[in-house]
Amino acid sequence: MLRAQLRKSKLIVVKVGASSLSDENGRIDFEKMNSICVEVSNLRRQGIDVVLVSSGAIRAGKAIISDSIKNNEISSLQAFAAVGQVLLMESYRDIMAGKGYRIAQILLTWDDFRSKTRLKNLINTIQTLLSLGVLPIINENDTIAVEEIKFGDNDTLSALVATHLGSDLLIILSDIDGLYNGDPGLPSSKLISFVPEVTQEIESLASSTHKGFGGMKTKLKAAKMVTAMGIPMVIANGRESGILERIINGERVGTLFGPRVKNEK
């Protein structure tokens, strides 16, 4: 029943992990990015507003200038982000332009959510961009972020964006099909299709060995945040063909986390 209701969504936030956008060398995989952009464009044509939260800047930058920087100190990661963010946005711009859409870049830190004025301006800006038919693409501002103002992962950032925008759905695309009841690498492990509540038992299933800065722990944290505000969330494999439209159409893919309260928006 809940999956069928997803097709009523008018505003969704989609978080795309770096692994869903890059090849084995960390460089931007234009075929993967194009597939996601095709789906976003199709959703827009159906009258669904989309806000994209995209990782991949650090990985893309590192693939370009890693020969010049040999360590993973914060300053090095910031340099990777500065180079990679340009590549990331150029790629999105070129691909989306070919589909008739403009994009806008928004870079954020925790301070933007702590300040009521900044947060209000952020929400107003995103809403204006959507009304103009522009695709907002959000990322953490890794170039200036230090520990005190870092999200640490874009799962948390996407949950904050979804919550403050009052979105109808949050979709987190990763390189895994969803939440499993055991190690995803074991044949005996089964995909959990629906999670009515993120309990301690569910949290214990999270693996710290998942790739990326976040992993399943941060995805479950994001699920707790948005479902507490009445927003359902889906974790799905970003490499699956047509995954966004399949989710919106109610197909049983990924793991759906049910809202704890009704979204009154």
Domains of the chain: 2-257 (3.40.1160.10)
Q: Is the pLDDT of residue 2 over 60?
A: yes
Q: Is the pLDDT of residue 210 over 80?
A: no
Higher local confidence (pLDDT), 55 or 209: 55
Higher local confidence (pLDDT), 143 or 230: 230
**Residue-level pLDDT at 68:** 64
Q: What is the pLDDT of residues 100-133, one digit of tens each?
A: 999 999 999 999 999 999 999 999 999 999 999 9
Q: Is the pLDDT of residue 144 over 90?
A: no
**Residue-level pLDDT at 69:** 62
**Residue-level pLDDT at 151:** 74
Which tokens is 112 given? 């933007």
* Overall average pLDDT of the 138-167 stretch: 86
**Residue-level pLDDT at 265:** 53
Q: What is the pLDDT of residues 20-44, one digit of tens each?
A: 998 888 889 999 999 999 999 999 9
**Residue-level pLDDT at 213:** 46
* Overall average pLDDT of the 198-209 stretch: 78
Q: Is the pLDDT of residue 216 over 50?
A: yes
Please spell the DSSP secondary structure of the chain, one letter per residue: -HHHHGGG-SEEEEEE-GGGTB-TTSSB-HHHHHHHHHHHHHHHHTT-EEEEEE--HHHHHHHHHTTT-----HHHHHHHHHHHHHHHHHHHHHHHHTTT--EEEEEE-THHHH-HHHHHHHHHHHHHHHHTT-EEEEEE-TTT--GGG--SSHHHHHHHHHHHHT-SEEEEEESS-S-BSS-TTSTT--B--EESS--HHHHTT--TTSSSSS-HHHHHHHHHHHHTTT--EEEEETTSTTHHHHHHTT---SEEE--SS----
**Residue-level pLDDT at 149:** 46
Strand order in 169-174's β-sheet?
103-108, 135-140, 49-54, 11-16, 169-174, 233-237, 255-257, 194-195
